[in-house]
Amino acid sequence: MKTSFVGKILFCSILAFTFGSNSNAQFFKKLAKKAERAAERTVERRVERETEKKTDQALDSILEPGSGGKQAPKTPKTNDGQNNSGNDSSNSETSVATGPKTIKVYSKFDFVPGDKLMFFDDFAHDFVGDFPSKWNTNGGGEIVSIGDSSEKWLELISGYSMYYIPDVPQLPEEYTIEFDLMTVGINNKTSSNAKLRIDLSNDDKFKEGSNFVQAHISVCQYTPVGITMENRINNQREIYSVVNADLRDEVLNRPHISIAVNKQRFRLWVNEEKHIDIPRIAPTGAALTTLKFHKNGFKEGEERLFITNLKVAEGGVDLRRKLISEGRISTNGILFDSGSANIQPQSMGIIRQISQVLLQESAMNIKIVGHTDADGSDDNNMKLSQQRAEAVKSALVSIYGISADRLVSEGKGELEPVGDNSTIAGKAQNRRVEFIKQ
């Protein structure tokens, strides 16, 4: 229960009167002043949130037809898993019906993942206790499971350990990176230097390289440390800055990290909020070839850091122009909970772009086609793909105000694969949604 500022003052005053000594009275006066300052900070933060909410509502009414000028409050993300398979279609409700607040929080999320999958790993084929077979490190780490969940995570260790993926030999000029992050043992005594560093480097082993871009995500709890951005171009530092960001709640509640690199431009989102957008931080050309992770400043054995569902995909460009010019797009960037039609909220960037096309092109109608991988029975996959197509349609109608009679949904199950269903990467390619101009 939160105590009001007046309650804190009364409580301290009563204690001072009860003890009856000057020293005690002075002590409790100091407590009262601290409570007053804390209450003032709380009020300031609430005023800022309310101001942001009012501004968002005003912008919604102008920029987001059909949203009703409302935005749901920010809630921690509690997704249980990636879209690993096409089996178990018992849950046919969409997240528009079962979790509208979470989806609406992401309704203005503008991240669009790449459409050509380069790498995906949820460690499903690795054994707990082993280091993942697709990764490399100069230190240590191991696959773990947490609680009763069937998910697997890579636990990173501190120090000078670096982690990278040899199976991605060179990053292209335009690509996206996504992964889930989890922390355990983080508290108010965690160092302000406790950070996960994400490196994009021209060194293909364990060094920083002569060209790199680094994003340092802090897990500190006693103060908002922000996100540190640093780069080096031809061994010369061009940028070193700390971007204000209060991530204290997010890093305790399994945040989803999204990164988009479009030539020199670097953007980073934590959950639905974009924190970094630097137009000229990367060197020109495809000079950053390797994605690396580095953990530093944690108390080893007490403060723990895990990642899973790492996805690297080429592209991430504007799908709107492609749909208008070519009349058809296919994307595996719309994610669903495993075996269900629940849209994972970080997928809303693509759905938002489709809605913008339909709002601009008032005569355009769209067919939405769902596809699954080959896991599970043919009948279940056909049913699931139809439900997923309907879930996307429902989001377009209920979140963005698109007329339902302009949309047709269809499921094709596992009938039209574009990747190898015997591999994790191939399955991820096959789980996709198509938008076809009618």
Taking only the tens place, the pLDDT of each residue in 29-43 is: 544 554 555 555 554
Looking at residue 321, its pLDDT comes to 84
- Residue-wise pLDDT for 329-357, tens only, equals 999 889 898 889 999 888 898 999 999 99
5: confidence class by pLDDT, cuts 50, 70, 90: very low
What is residue 36's predicted lDDT score, i.e. its pLDDT?
54
Class for domain 95-104+318-437, per CATH?
Answer: alpha beta
CB-side exposure of 409: number of CA atoms within 13 Å?
21
- What's residue 97's pLDDT? 34
Q: CA geometry: angle at 105 spanning 251 and 339, to 5°?
A: 80
Q: What is the pLDDT of residues 202-236, one digit of tens each?
A: 999 899 999 999 999 999 999 999 999 999 999 99
Nearest to 168 by CA among 123, 121, 124: 121
Structure tokens at 239: 């940028």
Q: What is the mean pLDDT of residues 36-61?
A: 46
Burial of 385 (0-12, 13-18, 19+ CB in 10 A): buried
Query: Which run of H or E residues covers position 355?
Result: helix 348-360
Alpha helices in 220-318 (DSSP H): none
pLDDT range class, residue 108, cuts 50, 70, 90? confident
* Mean pLDDT across the chain: 81
pLDDT at 75: 32
Identify the pLDDT of residue 286: 64
Predicted confidence band at 26 (pLDDT cuts at 50, 70, 90)? low
Burial 267-277 (b: 16+ CB within 10 A, else e): bbbbbbbebbe
Query: What confidence category does residue 104 fall into, taking pLDDT thresholds of 50, 70 and 90?
Result: confident
pLDDT greater than 70 at residue 53: no
Three-state SS for 313?
strand
- Specify whether the CB–CB gap between 428 and 117 falls below 8 A: yes
**Closest residue by Cα to residue 261 from 171, 163, 350:** 171
Those residues whose C-beta lies under 8 Å from the C-beta of residue 179, and which sit 6 or more positions away, are 256, 257, 307, 308, 309, 310, 311
| pLDDT at 284 (0 to 100) | 81
With 0-12 / 13-18 / 19 or more C-beta atoms within 10 angstroms meaning exposed / middle / buried, residue 8 is middle
Binned at pLDDT 50, 70 and 90, residue 159 comes out as confident
Work out the average pLDDT over 106-128. Answer: 89
Q: With bands split at pLDDT 50, 70 and 90, how would you rate the model's confidence at 144? A: very high
pLDDT at residue 200 greater than cutoff 50: yes
CATH topology of domain 113-314: Jelly Rolls (2.60.120)
C-alpha to C-alpha distance for 418 and 420, rounded to whole angstroms: 7
Q: Using alpha carbons, select from 306, 164, 168, 287 the residue that is nearest to residue 235.
A: 287
State yes or no: pLDDT of 147 exceeds 90: no
Whether 22 has a pLDDT exceeding 80, the answer reads no
* 339 CB neighbour count, 10 Å cutoff: 21
Q: Let me know: does 200 contact 172? Beta carbons within 8 Å.
A: no
Q: Is it the case that residue 299 has pLDDT exceeding 60?
A: yes
Rounded average pLDDT over 104-111: 83
Q: Tens digit of pLDDT for each residue in 361-417?
A: 999 999 999 999 999 999 999 999 999 999 999 999 999 999 999 999 999 999 999
